[in-house]
Amino acid sequence: MKKIMLVAVCAAFYFSCQEKKQEETTVAETTNESNYASFGATINEEGALSSEEMMQKFNGLKEGDTIDVKFKSTIHNVCQKKGCWMTLDLADDKETFVKFKDYGFFVPMNATDKEVIVNGKAFVSVESVEDLQHYAKDAGKSQEAIDSITEPKVTYSFMADGVLIAK
């Protein structure tokens, strides 16, 4: 009787492992069909503005204004502690600071210099000295560089609800 129970448990375990492998293969195949890895809400490439077009949108905003937009750019920097923020290149040597909605997802810390599409809300904000120093520390800047931050900065900000990063 014990042998029969042991064989039944082993068989159940064996078949449950086989089923899991098939599911993992399906997920991997689905992911490989796209040129992008997806984070946060599901979005697509369609209708994404260029970084130059996005810069024009930012130039038309004043503090307190918010617009819903999707745009394509290159990742300039990523938080090296968790991947909880990133900066993206814009036109005219400017960049936008991107956070993620409700702190609900993160991006890979090794995504610097990759193409990205972000969807969400763009706005202009004024970052305090304390926040700027915190971000510099997260980015791994030297103490000297952190201490050199003494004035607030007008920042082109973005709250992303969905992100696509080129593979």
Q: What is the pLDDT of residues 7-42, one digit of tens each?
A: 554 445 444 444 433 333 333 333 435 799 999 999
Predicted TM-score (pTM) of this structure: 0.68
Q: What is the pLDDT of residues 49-87, one digit of tens each?
A: 999 999 999 999 988 899 999 999 999 999 999 999 999
Domain count for the chain, please give it: 2
Asked whether the beta carbons of 98 and 160 are under 8 A apart, the reply is yes
My answer on whether 69 and 20 are in the same domain is no
My answer on whether 43 and 97 are in the same domain is yes
My answer on whether 40 and 29 are in the same domain is no
Closest C-alpha among 85, 81, 161, 155 to residue 117: 161
Q: What is the pLDDT of residues 121-167, one digit of tens each?
A: 999 988 899 999 998 999 899 999 999 999 988 789 999 999 999 99
What CATH number is given to the structural domain containing 68?
2.40.50
My answer on whether 19 and 81 are in the same domain is no
Residue range(s) defining the domain that contains residue 142: 36-166
Q: What token pair was written down for 125? A: 């904000």
Asked whether the beta carbons of 122 and 158 are under 8 A apart, the reply is yes
CA dist 154 and 37 (Å) reads 31
